[in-house]
Amino acid sequence: MFLKIQKLWIKIQSILSLIYKSKYKLTICCIVKDETDYLEEWINYHRKIGVQHFYIYDNGSKKPVKHTLKKAGLANYVTVNCIFGEVKQLEAYNDCLKRFGKLSRWIGFIDIDEFIVPKSTNGNLVDLLKDFEQFGGLGINWLVFGSCGHLKKTNMPVTERFLFRAAVDFHTNRHIKCIVQPKHVIQAASPHAFFFKENYHCVNENFQVISDSFFDVSVNKIQINHYFCKSLEEYYHKIERERADIDRKRSIQEFYNHDKDANAEKDVTILRIWNQNTMYNSISS
């Protein structure tokens, strides 16, 4: 009797895995608050590199995320979840893993001011991830972009306004963000790191194991453009929004501390990807 039940359970699991398998090859999860002006560019860019769906946690935005997405014609690509309170980023990430993890082969966990830039596959992130399927996740280093001298916010896209970044060896670039395979993840440990199941790890682009939120910078194959500063006006808005990761307010001094080193080198890699004619996203696949 026990063996029959066991065989039945194995069969059920097999059927469920087929149901869930590859509904999405690649999705992204993020938490936002009063950042709706940036959503359209951020979503359309990531769709271009292969992201098929987005899980956005609206942390009490004055202008609801759903309204912005509907107006932009992007509602079908996004599942919006409302989450209220302070320091909710980790809670949002773990909720996403629990509720939506089975629907995605890969989920990236990044912020609205972060853009993933796959370089070794000519902008195709799904193709790049094929080389990392034996691992729990891929950790990608930041490249911090500065204000480019802008004091005021304009209507130009973020990726066109801010074209200068810090040198690769800038200390803050040691931060990583992760794209993980949910089936190998236990839970999020921080916005930058995850706990993985036995025998699975997060690795960098060179297949070196990453054990925490930082790793030596390597951005030959892939990078994350982190538009940390934007314009001075936008940074003041960033301070007002408060933080979703830790219970500590930002200060304007953080802007100056980053910006003094974050305009050292011009980097237009992301624009070359934007200007390609191919839309890698394939929702029907």
Question: In this structure, what CATH number is given to the domain that contains residue 196?
Answer: 3.90.550
* Between 257 and 101, the higher pLDDT residue: 101
Q: How large is the average pLDDT for residues 229-240?
A: 90
Is residue 216 domain-resident? yes
Is residue 188 domain-resident? yes
Is residue 279 domain-resident? no
Is the per-residue pLDDT at 9 higher than 50? no
Is the per-residue pLDDT at 51 higher than 80? yes
Residues of the domain holding 124: 24-274
Is residue 115 domain-resident? yes
Is the per-residue pLDDT at 6 higher than 90? no
Is the per-residue pLDDT at 227 higher than 50? yes
Number of domains in the chain: 1
Is the per-residue pLDDT at 8 higher than 80? no
Is the per-residue pLDDT at 148 higher than 90? yes
Per-residue model confidence as pLDDT tens digits over 83-139: 999 989 999 999 999 999 999 999 999 999 999 999 999 999 999 999 999 999 999
Q: What string of H, E and C letters represents the secondary structure of the chain? A: CHHHHHHHHHHHHHHHHHHHCCCEEEEEEEEECCCHHHHHHHHHHHHHCCCCEEEEEECCCCCCHHHHHHHHCCHHHEEEEECCCCCCHHHHHHHHHHHHHHHEEEEEECCCCEEEEECCCCCCHHHHHHHHCCCCEEEEEEEEECCCCCCCCCCCCHHHHCCEECCCCCHHHHEEEEEECHHHEEEEEECCEEEECCCCCEECCCCCEECCCECCCCCCCEEEEECCCCCHHHHHHHHHHCCCCCCCCCCHHHHHHHHCCCCCEECCHHHHHHCCCCCCCCCCC
pLDDT-based confidence at residue 276 (cuts at 50, 70, 90): low
